[in-house]
């Protein structure tokens, strides 16, 4: 029997590690990712200002997996009905059960010029390019499109970089909604906005991007913002291997008889039918359910498969709280309380360090905690 995991992000690596412990040694386990490492995505913005952080948040898969066959290649497509995946090098992977955990890509929504001229922040190379552009013009005018958590953190790192280097920089953060961190509680939004203002970031809410040229961002209001650098964090879409779609699923995370989905590649509805927010914490919790359900079905099949199929676990969304950094400051929501400053930074450090520790990267966990604090 063969179980495949596609993607080595938060969900994929967690699924693979849990299946290593849960599956019999006779079951072949394969993990496919285009990189030979796991990236701690929610700390990627730190690399813009601190390139040395890249080594801390990049965990070699060989160091964290014991007996999983790691295939370093890009998955071009997955046929869940046939139980196959096509790889970029021409190989086909056949599986009996699989977890699709690709994560998501940046959505540009067909806005003219935006994909052509803006930089996303999904990979280490993106952070390197943003940093290089910023230093090349010694700050200049940078526009960040999208004031969700990722955009807030990018703007914060740029502002902190400018302050550390005494650059004369203007950082503009655009959000089409009427508040930053849309979808979050009002007190969290208010505190984040105050922190952004205190950092000298020009926040534009109710600002909808119409198009981008090589040196300006045009808003639907008619306003034009010149830029030396343009970063886009305005939304996510599904991975290319799923034709840009995020697979819809509910509690069991099952999308086909033999295939499960977890992480940002999934569009999961909670028990009330409301979409679950895409986040690292959500991906980790979904991964535990997906891995458990795959292990249950493998055990059922290996035991002969008689009688009714076993009951599968269901994922239930429970907000773990939220943390966002703005340069060296931070804002956290823990239950009904909103924290700022050192307490919020401690919460952020705990999250990142706990994840690295959970995948066996103890030294990296310690380094990251020191970086955050």
Q: Please give the pLDDT value at position 19.
A: 98
pLDDT, tens digit, 9 for 90 and up, residues 81-135: 999 999 999 999 999 999 999 999 999 999 999 999 999 999 999 999 999 999 9
Nearest to 234 by CA among 113, 322, 150: 150
What are residue 324's DSSP bridge partners? 331
pLDDT at position 181, please? 95
Percent of the chain with pLDDT over 90: 80
Helices (H), 7-75: 10-22, 46-49, 53-57, 61-64
- The arithmetic mean of pLDDT across residues 32-52, rounded, is 96
Confidence category of residue 370, pLDDT binned at 50, 70, 90: low
Q: Specify the pTM.
A: 0.92
**Which residue bears the tokens 């997996």?**
65
Question: What pLDDT was estimated at residue 366?
Answer: 54
Residue 365 has pLDDT above 60, yes or no: no
Closest by CA to 224, choosing from 241, 239, 207, is: 207
Q: Mind listing the pLDDT tens digit for each residue in 247-292?
A: 988 889 999 999 999 999 999 887 667 788 888 888 999 999 999 9
Q: Name the least confident of 148-152, 155-159, 304-308.
A: 304-308
Is the pLDDT assigned to residue 364 strictly greater than 70?
no
Mean pLDDT to the nearest integer, 291-316: 92
pLDDT at position 217: 99
Q: Which domains does the chain have, with CATH numbers?
A: 2-34+73-104+238-320 (3.50.50.60), 114-234 (3.50.50.60)
The answer to whether 35 and 7 are in contact (CB under 8 A) is no
Q: Give the whole-angstrom CA distance, residue 224 versus residue 215.
A: 10
Work out the average pLDDT over 313-318. 88
Two structure tokens written together for 98: 């699989």
The pLDDT tens digits of the residues spanning 151-165 come to: 999 999 999 999 999
> Mean pLDDT in the chain?
92
String of b and e for 123-139 (b: at least 16 CB within 10 Å)?
A: ebebbebbbebbeeeeb
Structural Rg of the chain based on CA atoms: 21
Alpha carbons 4 and 6: distance in angstroms, whole number: 6
Residue predicted with more confidence, 307 or 10: 10
Q: How confident is the model at residue 305 (pLDDT cuts 50, 70, 90)?
A: confident
Tell me the per-residue pLDDT of 200-238, one tens digit each, with 9 for 90 and over. Answer: 999 999 999 999 999 999 999 999 999 999 999 999 999
């Amino acid at each position: 029997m063969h179980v495949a995991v596609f993607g080595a992000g938060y969900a994929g690596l967690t699924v693979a590690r849990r299946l290593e412990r849960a599956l019999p040694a006779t079951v072949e386990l394969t993990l496919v990712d285009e990189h030979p490492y796991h990236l701690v995505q929610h700390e990627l913005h730190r690399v813009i200002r601190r390139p040395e952080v890249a080594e801390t948040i990049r965990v070699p898969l060989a160091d964290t997996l014991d007996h999983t066959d790691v295939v370093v290649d890009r998955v071009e497509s997955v046929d869940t009905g046939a139980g196959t995946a096509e790889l970029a090098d021409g190989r086909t992977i056949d599986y009996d059960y699989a977890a699709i955990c690709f994560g998501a890509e940046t959505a540009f929504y067909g806005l003219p010029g935006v994909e052509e001229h803006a930089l996303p922040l999904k990979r280490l190379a993106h952070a390197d390019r943003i940093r290089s552009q910023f230093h090349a013009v010694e700050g200049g005018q940078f526009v960040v499109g999208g004031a969700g958590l990722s955009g807030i953190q990018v703007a914060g790192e740029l502002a902190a970089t400018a302050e550390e280097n005494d650059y004369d920089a203007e950082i503009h953060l655009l959000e089409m909604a009427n508040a930053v961190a849309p979808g979050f509680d009002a007190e969290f939004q208010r505190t984040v906005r105050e922190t952004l203002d205190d950092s000298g970031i020009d926040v534009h809410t109710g600002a909808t991007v119409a198009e981008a040229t090589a040196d300006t961002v045009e808003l639907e209001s008619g306003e034009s913002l010149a830029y030396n650098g343009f970063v886009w964090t305005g939304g996510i879409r599904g991975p290319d291997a799923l034709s840009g779609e995020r697979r819809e699923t509910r509690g069991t995370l099952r999308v086909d008889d033999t295939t499960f989905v977890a992480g940002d590649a999934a569009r999961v509805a909670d028990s009330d039918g409301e979409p679950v927010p895409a986040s690292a914490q959500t991906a980790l919790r979904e991964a535990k359910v997906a891995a458990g359900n795959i292990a249950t079905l493998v055990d059922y099949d290996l035991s002969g498969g008689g009688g009714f199929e076993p009951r599968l676990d269901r994922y239930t969304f429970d907000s773990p709280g939220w943390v966002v950094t703005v340069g060296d400051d931070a804002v956290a929501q823990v239950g009904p309380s909103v924290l700022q400053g050192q307490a919020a930074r401690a919460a952020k450090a705990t999250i990142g360090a706990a994840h690295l520790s959970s995948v066996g990267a103890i030294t990296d966990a310690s380094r990251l905690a020191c970086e955050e604090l």
